[in-house]
Chain A
Amino acid sequence: MSNNINLKRGLDIPISGEAAQKIKKAVSPDVVAVKPTDFRGLLPKLLVKEGDKVLAGTPVLADKKSPDIVFASPVSGTVETVVRGEKRKLLEVRIKADKTQEYVDFGVRKVKELSADEIKEALLKSGLWPALIQRPYGVLASPEIRPKAIFVSAFSTAPLAADTDYVLRDEFANIQTGIDALTKLTDGGVHVSFDSRNYSGTPFHKLENVIQHTFTGKHPAGNVGIQIHHICPIKKGDTVWTVSLLMLAAIGKLFNTGRYDMTRKIAVTGPKAIDPSYVTGLPGMAVADLKEFYDNSAEELRFISGDVLTGTSVGEAGFLGFYDNQVTIIKEGREYEMLGWAKPLRSGLFSASRTYFSWLTPKKKYDMDTNLHGGVRAFLMNDVYGKVLPMDIFPVYLTKACIAGDIDKMEKYGIYEVLEEDLALCEYVCPSKIDIQAIISDGISLMMKEMA
């Protein structure tokens, strides 16, 4: 507790539509989807065909590269369609849910009595292995590796993110079980980072068997990548795993109940969400199941699985991502604004810079939309990015190295330490409107290809 890490740089984006802490409904899904696109670099192998009966926990997909890693159906039902995209790329496996849910029984087990290999096997078989993300690169964890350490962020600073304490309050015992299990997979221990301002307020500071850290700061202080950077930076050759509390709860449930139970509280948020609040649902559930939360009869809306900085636009016909417990609904900003850039005031819009006057109203929340607010240009300003990135790296140099595809420079400027999400704020504030996350993503793909 003594060594609180105080991050001065960052930005909390004041977007409206925070979810009220109440459960508006329990979504009993009709059709859910398992999406290979939720996982970086996954080459999926289909294990079922249309018409097959599955239970909650039945493997649907496997990883071609390491076939032990499987992805399970979150519901019991019938495989309805297999959706493919260009070049027959597998996009979704849609499963029609039954009225009553049946689970594959993996058996209740006492974690304390299990060996590391037994835990690994249980996670792999149940489809919970993908909960573990491996850095560098943010890929699926490799079962052959014993990571340097495992990192967990116990708070989220992302815009409108679901309140960790609220959504996981009842899962304390499961999370503890999950941590006990994962501790056996590493020698470096499980590091859990807390928000120092809420340290005594959160029930999770009572978690045992963990190494605790506290952070103070604006977004992205809650990003696990930022936390690792300050706790124990990733060097070349290091491998660490990260896992979210949400997934720890699911892992705990696996051992405590013997079920692959992915039920979670999901925050429905955003300026265009009607009465933003929480629902209970499953990963892979359809956005259309949230009908009472939006009205797109008059305007075009964007449905994001995740938050506005890093989420995926899935569309009204889309499905919630595997790792997400948030849906954000915002307006598509397809509107022209006459001489917008020249207006002295633009009171409806937020800017982190002082070139507008939104700094005068620090408490105000804004109904943000998806307009780019400008044209794409070359990098011009150089000091705006560092102000929102509490890491000891040079974001513009890293981005330029990625554009150039220069492996040596990418290594030098810290590609091992970042994922797209860590630089999302740099992208948000960029006056040149450069898609920094996409550039970093391409850079990571190149690294994976070249260094494999």
Chain B
Amino acid sequence: MNGLRKLTDKIKPAFEKGGKLGFLHSTFDAFETFLFVPDTVTKRGAHVRDSVDLKRILIIVVLALLPAMLFGMWNVGYQHSNAFGLGWGFWNMFWYGLVKVIPLYLVSYIVGLGIEFISAQIKGHEVSEGYLVSGMLIPLIVPVDVPLWMLAIAVAFAVILGKEVFGGTGMNIWNPALLCRAFLFFSYPSKMSGDTVWTGGLDRFLSEGTAYATNGHGLVDAFSGATPLAYKSVEGLQQAGTSFMDLFIGTVPGSVGETSVIAILIGAVILIWTGVASWKIMLSSVAGALAIGYLGFACGATDLPGYYQLVLGGFAFGTVFMATDPVTSAQTETGKWIYGFLVGALTVTVRIFNPGYVEGMMLAILLMNTFAPLIDYYVIEGSIRRREKKVKVA
């Protein structure tokens, strides 16, 4: 540890302004502060500070995402094994998923962090940690077979136009990870929707007749590949062999990390317990989804009882990890209730009434991201007006 510190101190001068490698100052600083909490002391204001910093907060989010990620890796293998009737064991499935998902992570982090580093370098800023979480999220909300070059373009789009043009982490209007997904969704719909994209290796098998680790097997007869969202009633789901518990545990096709409600709930507990994400948004989003879900059920617009909406598709993942993004969600406490409720309500509305885009979560959150500042504006105006009245009375 001391040796590493000494080495860092030794090479540090080269990266300072005017040094040989001065143009890499931000990059060096990012690595140094990653390894060591810096020795900076307070200059103005409070002389002591809390030990929490953004790195800590973001690493908690990454930690909360791990269960969903690990389950997602296993599920990729599980779906593949089922599709081709391979009868794999646990490790075989996990290994397959690992091999499929790791490249997504490599692309996400190399492209995303690369752009972050370059733009920090150009602006002369410190590199912000924000992308650690975005980069972790992106592979979990795309189909596992999404071509890597598409992912790279989408990540670049999301980071540059979604974040850097606004001034970087903390200044963006839309959640960068969702923006990345939206870009993929609208630019390459054939790779983002339909029945064939959700199972690893299927696309390639269908076009080339072979794929990695099919072991010469063909598709099993009963294979459909559709996500459970495609079924509009409990009976439909049951005919497809999907029970409520399957949806809850997550052994269904879908984006890599979104399927397992259990894994996501573990993450939710971590986020709420540490206070990193707002429980108000999560709770009100669930309330919104249930409200519209049951309303639709009562009116006969859908045959699915409201609670099914909570375990289907990306609702749980979006509610816990995406809607609660502190930068793009509502900032005021009252606003959070409204914002969360509308996210949940809009998602289910889209699901019920729009057969074209069955997954409403992404667009609901992006839309509410757009309106969050408006919600906050009215909450604050209301609060100020209420106070003025109170003061006048007193």
When the two chains form their complex, are residues A311 and B394 in contact, meaning their CB atoms are under 8 A apart?
no
When the two chains form their complex, are residues B50 and A350 in contact, meaning their CB atoms are under 8 A apart?
yes
Q: Does B216 sit within 8 A of A, measured CB to CB?
A: no
Q: Does B51 sit within 8 A of A, measured CB to CB?
A: yes
Contacts of A338 in B (CB 8 A): 1, 4-5, 35-37
Q: Beta-carbon contacts of A317-338 to B below 8 Å, as 1s and 0s? A: 0000000000010101111111
Task: Say whether, besides A232-B394, A336-B36, A339-B35, A429 and B50 are in contact (CB < 8 Å).
Answer: yes
Task: Say whether, besides A232-B394, A341-B37, A383-B278, A378 and B48 are in contact (CB < 8 Å).
Answer: no
Q: Of the candidates A334, A381, A428, which one forms a contact with B49 in the assembled complex, judged by CB atoms under 8 Å apart?
A: A428
Contacts of B128 in A (CB 8 A): 377-378
Q: Of the candidates A330, A339, A380, A438, which one forms a contact with B48 in the assembled complex, judged by CB atoms under 8 Å apart?
A: A330
Task: Say whether, besides A353-B275, A378-B128, A302 and B47 are in contact (CB < 8 Å).
Answer: yes
Q: Beta-carbon contacts of B383-394 to A below 8 Å, as 1s and 0s? A: 110010001001
Contacts of A428 in B (CB 8 A): 46, 48-50
Contact residues of A between 332 and 383, Cβ < 8 Å to B: 332-342, 346, 349-356, 358, 368-383
When the two chains form their complex, are residues A436 and B45 in contact, meaning their CB atoms are under 8 A apart?
yes
A-binding segment of B141-149, B176-184, B189-197, B326-334: B326-334
Contacts of B57 in A (CB 8 A): 353, 355, 380-381, 431
Chain B count of residues within 8 A CB distance of the other chain: 54
Query: How far does the alpha carbon of A20 sit from the alpha carbon of B391 in the complex, in Å?
Result: 42
Q: Does A386 sit within 8 A of B, measured CB to CB?
A: yes
Q: Does B222 sit within 8 A of A, measured CB to CB?
A: no
Q: Does A308 sit within 8 A of B, measured CB to CB?
A: yes
Task: Say whether, besides A334-B41, A378-B168, A396 and B46 are in contact (CB < 8 Å).
Answer: no
When the two chains form their complex, are residues B46 and A382 in contact, meaning their CB atoms are under 8 A apart?
no
When the two chains form their complex, are residues B55 and A374 in contact, meaning their CB atoms are under 8 A apart?
yes
Contacts of B50 in A (CB 8 A): 350-353, 373, 428-431
Q: Of the candidates A353, A382, A392, A429, which one forms a contact with B387 in the assembled complex, judged by CB atoms under 8 Å apart?
A: A392
When the two chains form their complex, are residues A382 and B326 in contact, meaning their CB atoms are under 8 A apart?
yes
Contacts of B278 in A (CB 8 A): 383
Query: How far does the alpha carbon of A382 sit from the alpha carbon of B331 in the complex, in Å?
Result: 6
When the two chains form their complex, are residues B52 and A353 in contact, meaning their CB atoms are under 8 A apart?
yes
Task: Say whether, besides A355-B57, A356-B56, A371-B39, A381 and B326 are in contact (CB < 8 Å).
Answer: yes
Task: Say whether, besides A372-B42, A376-B126, A394-B380, A337 and B54 are in contact (CB < 8 Å).
Answer: no
Contacts of A377 in B (CB 8 A): 54, 126, 128-129, 169-170
Contacts of A396 in B (CB 8 A): 331
Q: Does A102 sit within 8 A of B, measured CB to CB?
A: no
The residue on A at minimum CB distance from B331 is A382
Q: Does A196 sit within 8 A of B, measured CB to CB?
A: no
When the two chains form their complex, are residues A431 and B52 in contact, meaning their CB atoms are under 8 A apart?
yes
Q: Write the nearest CB–CB distance from B194 to chain A, whole angstroms.
A: 37
The residue on B at minimum CB distance from A353 is B52
Query: How far does the alpha carbon of A113 sit from the alpha carbon of B168 in the complex, in Å?
Result: 66
Query: How far does the alpha carbon of A334 sit from the alpha carbon of B151 in the complex, in Å?
Result: 42
Q: Beta-carbon contacts of A176-194 to B below 8 Å, as 1s and 0s? A: 0000000000000000000
Q: Does A273 sit within 8 A of B, measured CB to CB?
A: no
Contacts of A311 in B (CB 8 A): 47
When the two chains form their complex, are residues A437 and B46 in contact, meaning their CB atoms are under 8 A apart?
yes
The residue on A at minimum CB distance from B47 is A308
When the two chains form their complex, are residues A432 and B54 in contact, meaning their CB atoms are under 8 A apart?
yes
When the two chains form their complex, are residues A380 and B49 in contact, meaning their CB atoms are under 8 A apart?
no
When the two chains form their complex, are residues A370 and B47 in contact, meaning their CB atoms are under 8 A apart?
yes
Q: Write the nearest CB–CB distance from A370 to chain B, whole angstroms.
A: 4
Q: Does B53 sit within 8 A of A, measured CB to CB?
A: yes
Q: Does A84 sit within 8 A of B, measured CB to CB?
A: no
Contacts of A384 in B (CB 8 A): 275
Contact residues of A between 105 and 138, Cβ < 8 Å to B: none
Task: Say whether, besides A15-B48, A339-B35, A431-B54, A375 and B333 are in contact (CB < 8 Å).
Answer: no
Q: Tell which of A233, A330, A353, A368 has the most Cβ of chain B within 10 Å.
A: A353
When the two chains form their complex, are residues B333 and A341 in contact, meaning their CB atoms are under 8 A apart?
no
Contacts of A432 in B (CB 8 A): 54, 170
Q: Does B188 sit within 8 A of A, measured CB to CB?
A: no
Contacts of B43 in A (CB 8 A): 435
Query: How far does the alpha carbon of A380 sit from the alpha carbon of B326 in the complex, in Å?
Result: 6
Q: Does A150 sit within 8 A of B, measured CB to CB?
A: no
When the two chains form their complex, are residues A340 and B36 in contact, meaning their CB atoms are under 8 A apart?
yes
Query: How far does the alpha carbon of A381 sit from the alpha carbon of B326 in the complex, in Å?
Result: 6
Q: Does B33 sit within 8 A of A, measured CB to CB?
A: yes
Query: How far does the alpha carbon of A50 sit from the alpha carbon of B327 in the complex, in Å?
Result: 57
When the two chains form their complex, are residues A372 and B47 in contact, meaning their CB atoms are under 8 A apart?
no
Q: Beta-carbon contacts of A1-42 to B below 8 Å, as 1s and 0s? A: 000000000000101000000000000000000000000000
Contact residues of A between 391 and 419, Cβ < 8 Å to B: 392, 394, 396-397, 412-413
Query: How far does the alpha carbon of A396 sit from the alpha carbon of B373 in the complex, in Å?
Result: 14
Query: How far does the alpha carbon of A311 sit from the alpha carbon of B326 in the complex, in Å?
Result: 32
When the two chains form their complex, are residues A372 and B46 in contact, meaning their CB atoms are under 8 A apart?
no
When the two chains form their complex, are residues B274 and A375 in contact, meaning their CB atoms are under 8 A apart?
no
Contacts of B89 in A (CB 8 A): none
Q: Does A248 sit within 8 A of B, measured CB to CB?
A: no
Task: Say whether, besides A372-B41, A438-B44, A378 and B333 are in contact (CB < 8 Å).
Answer: no
When the two chains form their complex, are residues B51 and A335 in contact, meaning their CB atoms are under 8 A apart?
no
Contacts of A336 in B (CB 8 A): 5, 36-39
Q: Does A280 sit within 8 A of B, measured CB to CB?
A: no
When the two chains form their complex, are residues B169 and A369 in contact, meaning their CB atoms are under 8 A apart?
no
Q: Of the candidates B42, B169, B332, which one forms a contact with A378 in the assembled complex, judged by CB atoms under 8 Å apart?
A: B169
Q: Write the nearest CB–CB distance from B10 to chain A, whole angstroms.
A: 14
Name 19 A/B residue pairs within 8 A (Cβ), A-sorted.
A15-B48, A313-B47, A338-B36, A340-B36, A341-B59, A346-B51, A351-B50, A352-B52, A354-B273, A354-B275, A368-B48, A373-B50, A375-B53, A375-B54, A394-B332, A428-B48, A430-B50, A435-B43, A438-B44
A352-B50, A369-B41 are known contacts; what are 5 more A-B pairs with Cβ within 8 Å?
A328-B47, A339-B37, A349-B51, A375-B38, A378-B170
